[in-house]
Amino acid sequence: MTARWLVTGGAGMLGRDLAGVLGEAGADVLAPGRRELDVTDADAVRAAVAGRDVVVNTAAWTDVDGAESEEAAATRVNGDGPRTLAAACAASGAVLLQLSTDYVFPGDATAPYPHDAPTSPVNAYGRGKLAGERAVLDLLPERGYVVRTAWLYGAHGRNFVSTMLGLAERHATVDVVDDQRGQPTWTRALARQLYELGEAAVAGRAPAGVYHGTASATATWFDLARAAFELTGLDPERVRPTTSEAFVRPARRPAYSVLAHERWAEAGVAPQPHWRDQLAEALPTMTTGTAAPGGRPGA
| Active-site amino acid positions | 125
What do you get for the CA distance between the two ends of the chain, in Å? 58
Does residue 167 contact residue 230 with C-beta atoms inside 8 Å? no
Rounded to whole angstroms, the Cα distance separating 31 from 14 reads 11
* CA 296-213-183 angle, 5° bins: 35
CA-wise closest residue to 267 among 179, 167, 197, 169: 197
**What type of residue is 89?**
C
Backbone angles phi, psi at 184, to 5 degrees: -55, 125
Backbone angles phi, psi at 51, to 5 degrees: 85, 0
* CA 184-189-194 angle, 5° bins: 115
Q: What does DSSP say about strands 95-101 and 144-149: parallel, antiparallel, or unpaired? A: parallel
168-189: b (≥16 Cβ within 10 Å) or e? beeeeebbbbbebbbbbbbbbb
Rounded to whole angstroms, the Cα distance separating 12 from 158 reads 10
